[in-house]
Structure 1
């Protein structure tokens, strides 16, 4: 399958490294406005570098477009690619605004090319195992979840992560991972309350603490930190009526279960040599080739954005935000 990637920054490089291990994909071109980034990205996969999407599709027969551009630019290129009949793999979040997201959904609603949004946490082994155990009822009724995701501040083209108008800050770019996973696992979110440093002067430090109340009764406390003075890390703790399950990236490869005495453990071995990004992108390519439904539905990406925007609204207003039905 012939693929062109647009945006050879940090996430573009992650995607290209994954494609190098997916034999079903031929990356034919890498486009970036920075020539050195286009060249470096193309070298990862033996592709040709281009200065723009226009140059890429004029020179190459591109079936799939992988978009790793800054968030505010997702809509224009995704809608254009759809109109040209090309499938799109779009790095999360789906868009910067709910209006942009709606336009993207409309562009892919006609039964032609397909859209896949990269909510990669669904492919991390420990999160897959947690969802499987919740779905199987091994934890009983889930009452509380606590997650934390911490990252050094990222540098990108024109320092776009620091521009809230482009990136949406830590809630849209980082914490949305947990919002998506929690909604996938626990169902629809009913109410959001968040506090954070958004709107203050620290444009390279963003922190938020969010409380989600789910329609099914569970509550989640979700922490996100940009500007963390250490390596990227994440953790999750799920408390059910029968067991407590935890995972921490600083202790990789294991889930820890705390149960009642004499209860069976059944914690899976999470050892895997496959990158979650490679698993995600291979899954998307397989779905394009076979017509199968994706683990990540387009509507899921839209709903994750709605939760992130509600959390942002709550930070700015200081008030909880109630989410109605699905948007």
Structure 2
């Protein structure tokens, strides 16, 4: 019998409720030992359900419980400081995206994990979604030849329908969220396109703005033009105003045809070759706010600890995906294309 990994979940909002906590609870290698939330009742409810102890304060939890690993599922501005505290306390860290709100913070998190000999993983779940895994396999097979252009989009009606606090959520408070649709959805797509194409974003031009959400200075829409290091060009869209329903789709136009990912409700990956061949793959859905699928993130994080191997989305990868988003804001602010130093 192996010793179970003692995990503390920091932040008990929707992402913890729907993804982290049930997935940890379902992992045979994990014991949930602590829940932390400033609204102590939320932490207490999960402690009653899963065992472990409830805390309102991170420092008190780390000192008393000394967990082996933590999930950091807090408002964005706390991701870096809490991750560094946890690493300094000797805990492996799984942090929600965006991993930080500045590049300096991201670098500090990576450094803290290295200095303490712990793992740091960023919860970029799009890499684990079955349609995206299948799409990468198809790309690597060479059947489509070179990717030339792409469009990747992620939009939904906004966090008010998802967050435990509804319209009063921290997602809309600039000082806590720092960034809106771009930090929530855009960073998923910058990570996905980097991973799918095995390529880095070299340059970005972006329009980022608040078009419809009232009483907030947080961005609710972004439309970006990207040029990859290989020369591939494409667009990245993030939106909190897709009121008719969620869209998480990517289309890759290639030398020998086109691949459509997440554009059809049943055929999650469609390959249309120039010779007229059409291949459709039913590989399992992409998780949505309305229909939760297992993210794959928790099992991958736990597995990296159990096997003492590098996590599949290390801090360095999260940092590169964050840089794309930060550069989009810089482009909006300056009215110029921004070169990204990788």
Instruction: Decide: shared fold, TM above 0.5.
Output: yes
Counterpart CA distance in 2 for 1:310 and 1:151 is 23
SS in 1 for 2:194: helix
Question: What residue in structure 1 maps to residue 239 of structure 2?
Answer: 225
The answer to whether the 8 A contact 1:3-1:29 is kept is yes
Counterpart CA distance in 2 for 1:228 and 1:317 is 27
Going from structure 1 to structure 2, the CA distance change for 1:282 and 1:230 (only over 3 Å counts) comes to same
The answer to whether the 8 A contact 2:268-2:285 is kept is no
Counterpart CA distance in 1 for 2:267 and 2:38 is 38
Deviations for 1:141-165, whole angstroms, at most 9, x for unmatched residues? 1011111111222145663211234
Counterpart CA distance in 2 for 1:32 and 1:250 is 38
Deviation for aligned residue 1:310: 0.4
Question: What residue in structure 2 maps to residue 134 of structure 1?
Answer: 139
- Which 10-residue stretch deviates more, 177-186 or 229-238? 229-238
Question: What residue in structure 2 maps to residue 73 of structure 1?
Answer: 78
The answer to whether the 8 A contact 1:16-1:44 is kept is no
Alignment of 1:201-280 (within 5 A): 202=214, 203=216, 206-248=220-262, 251-252=265-266, 254-261=268-275, 263=277, 265=279, 267-271=280-284, 277-280=294-297
Q: TM-score scaled to structure 2, two decimals?
A: 0.87
1:197 pairs, out of 205, 209, 213, with 209
The answer to whether the 8 A contact 1:172-1:309 is kept is no
SS in 1 for 2:296: helix
Question: What residue in structure 2 maps to residue 64 of structure 1?
Answer: 69
Counterpart CA distance in 1 for 2:124 and 2:294 is 9
Deviation for aligned residue 1:135: 1.9
Counterpart CA distance in 2 for 1:301 and 1:19 is 22
Going from structure 1 to structure 2, the CA distance change for 1:285 and 1:226 (only over 3 Å counts) comes to same
Counterpart CA distance in 2 for 1:94 and 1:236 is 23
2:182 equivalent to 1:182: no
The answer to whether the 8 A contact 2:131-2:262 is kept is no
Going from structure 1 to structure 2, the CA distance change for 1:283 and 1:320 (only over 3 Å counts) comes to same
Question: What residue in structure 1 maps to residue 98 of structure 2?
Answer: 93
Deviation for aligned residue 1:277: 4.6
The answer to whether the 8 A contact 1:21-1:278 is kept is no
Counterpart CA distance in 2 for 1:292 and 1:143 is 34
Counterpart CA distance in 1 for 2:255 and 2:41 is 54
- Which 10-residue stretch deviates more, 174-183 or 57-66? 57-66
Alignment of 1:125-164 (within 5 A): 125-155=130-160, 156=163, 159-164=169-174
Question: What residue in structure 2 maps to residue 281 of structure 1?
Answer: 298
Deviation for aligned residue 1:98: 1.1
Counterpart CA distance in 2 for 1:153 and 1:273 is 18
1:5 pairs, out of 6, 9, 13, with 9
Counterpart CA distance in 2 for 1:107 and 1:196 is 32
The answer to whether the 8 A contact 1:196-1:315 is kept is yes
- Which 10-residue stretch deviates more, 141-150 or 155-164? 155-164
2:337 equivalent to 1:306: no
- Which 10-residue stretch deviates more, 150-159 or 272-281? 272-281
- Which 10-residue stretch deviates more, 144-153 or 281-290? 144-153
Counterpart CA distance in 2 for 1:317 and 1:121 is 30
- How many residue pairs were aligned? 324
Structure 1 residue runs of 4 or more that deviate by more than 6 Å after TM superposition: 272-275
Going from structure 1 to structure 2, the CA distance change for 1:268 and 1:103 (only over 3 Å counts) comes to same
SS in 1 for 2:99: coil
Q: TM-score scaled to structure 1, two decimals?
A: 0.91
The answer to whether the 8 A contact 1:17-1:44 is kept is no
Deviation for aligned residue 1:278: 4.2
SS in 2 for 1:108: helix
Question: What residue in structure 1 maps to residue 336 of structure 2?
Answer: 319
Cα RMSD between the aligned structures? 2.4
- Which 10-residue stretch deviates more, 270-279 or 75-84? 270-279
Unaligned ranges ≥5, structure 1: none
